[in-house]
Amino acid sequence: MLFADLKGSMELLADCDPEEARRIHLERALTAATHLPQTREVIEQAIDVRLDLRHAIHTLGEVERAMGLMRGAESLAEGLGDKTRMGKIFLSLSTGLWMLDYSDDAQDPGRHALAVAEATGDSLLKYQARDHLPRLHHDRGDYRQAAAMLRESLSSLEAAESSPLALTLVPLSVVSTT
């Protein structure tokens, strides 16, 4: 019976749009995680699935639902004391709030994401937070702070230009103005 269910599931996913299939797969993984013993490893994986599912449903326009996933992930990560995951969650919350036109509310989680990135040495998260925060300042009318943060971001890129990662870290704000 299990294999028949699996075969039907695979056929269903094969007929779906790739983003929709990814969403379905991640939702099933999240449901499965609720039926497992809640060990640290299972909780970490449940957080990671929520982060991945948030990305999948953002592309489908389900920003409010993604915010609910991040609130759940935030609670789990706080329980574990997992700063690295908290940083990613803070950035996701800030981005979601910004997308829902709550730029003022997005400030605190954005600053928390940057603080976590600096404390943990997570250079990718630090870059992402530094790229995101100027948008929030711009939306609030704090153009000087937005410009200062963008200059700081560009300086960081110039300093890291010898890194292969630097080629993938072009700020969206730079791309959108060209």
pTM of the shown model:
0.79
Q: Are both 1 and 74 inside the same structural domain?
A: yes
Flag whether 94 is in a domain: no
Whole-number pLDDT of residue 2: 36
Flag whether 24 is in a domain: yes
Digit-coded pLDDT (tens) for 25-75: 899 988 988 888 999 999 999 999 999 999 888 888 899 999 999 999 999
Q: How far is CA 167 from the centre of its chain?
A: 20
Specify the higher pLDDT residue, 158 or 106.
106
Say how many C-beta atoms besides its own lie within 10 A of residue 168's C-beta: 9
Flag whether 97 is in a domain: no
Q: Are both 68 and 29 inside the same structural domain?
A: yes
Flag whether 112 is in a domain: yes
Q: Please spell the DSSP secondary structure of 108-161, one letter per residue.
A: HHHHHHHHHHHHHT-HHHHHHHHHHHHHHHHHTT-HHHHHHHHHHHHHHHHHTT
The C-alpha atoms of residue 20 and residue 49 are separated, in whole angstroms, by 15
Whole-number pLDDT of residue 79: 96
Whole-number pLDDT of residue 15: 67
Q: Are both 32 and 108 inside the same structural domain?
A: no
Q: Are both 120 and 45 inside the same structural domain?
A: no
Q: Are both 77 and 108 inside the same structural domain?
A: no
Digit-coded pLDDT (tens) for 84-141: 999 999 999 999 999 999 999 999 999 999 999 999 999 889 989 998 999 999 998 9
Q: Are both 61 and 5 inside the same structural domain?
A: yes
Q: Are both 121 and 160 inside the same structural domain?
A: yes
Helix axes 83-99, 103-120, angle to 10 degrees: 160
Q: Are both 63 and 117 inside the same structural domain?
A: no
Domain count, the chain: 2
Range(s) of the domain holding residue 63: 1-81
Whole-number pLDDT of residue 159: 62
Q: Examine the fold and report which residue of 21, 48, 81 is the final residue of a domain before the chain moves on.
A: 81
